[in-house]
Amino acid sequence: MRAAGGLVLAVMLAGCASMPDAYQDTRSDVVDQRLLSPSVAAAGAARIESYAMQPQQAFRMPLLHDNVDPALPADTPRTNLPPTTVCVRVIIDAQGAVQRTEPLLDRAECAAGADASNSDLLQAVERAALTWQYEPAAICHYHDVAPKRPGDCADADRIEPVPVTLNYAFTFQMERGQMRVQRAGR
């Protein structure tokens, strides 16, 4: 799967949205979600090849427009959890649907996902991400040199939807039985 080239652009273009920091009276799910830059050294099956753009091409990142936050089951036995980060690789097809997710364990900040005691966090993230829907990533083809407007295919001669892979980190925190999940990079 080729995608890492546009992933760097995604990190630069990712907008930020945040949820209130205040705790609510009822149990609430709040998770810090952020887009990660591609891994520098991946080998074998984990290697993700980037799209090589020609001067008459531009890359448009996928736009997430239908998603739900990860949530632990209401009957989770957890009552306290220090900030714990788990990461997934989200594989998006050329139509913008999530094809599958994979745990992302090759980064220091994602190590908690390999701990069996955090399998419920990883499962919550994977369940949520499988329901997400994106406007597909695309390679925009132009007759002449592509304009320097990242992500804009408005004047393209042809728009070719392409599959991509995005890396996300989710940080869960629970205090006094309330899950706190802050969002960034939605």
pLDDT digits (tens, 9 = 90+) for 24-82: 223 334 567 777 877 544 444 455 677 888 899 999 999 998 788 898 877 788 888 88
**Diameter over CA atoms, the chain:** 60
Q: How many domains does the chain have?
A: 1
What pLDDT, on the 0 to 100 scale, is given for residue 161? 96
Digit-coded pLDDT (tens) for 122-146: 999 999 999 999 999 999 999 988 8
Task: Say what the pTM is.
Answer: 0.73
Q: Residue 40: inside a domain, yes or no?
A: yes
Q: How far apart are CA 32 and CA 186, in angstroms?
A: 10
Q: Residue 22: inside a domain, yes or no?
A: no
Q: Residue 76: inside a domain, yes or no?
A: no
What pLDDT, on the 0 to 100 scale, is given for residue 47? 54
Name the residue range of residue 41's domain: 4-14+28-69+84-180
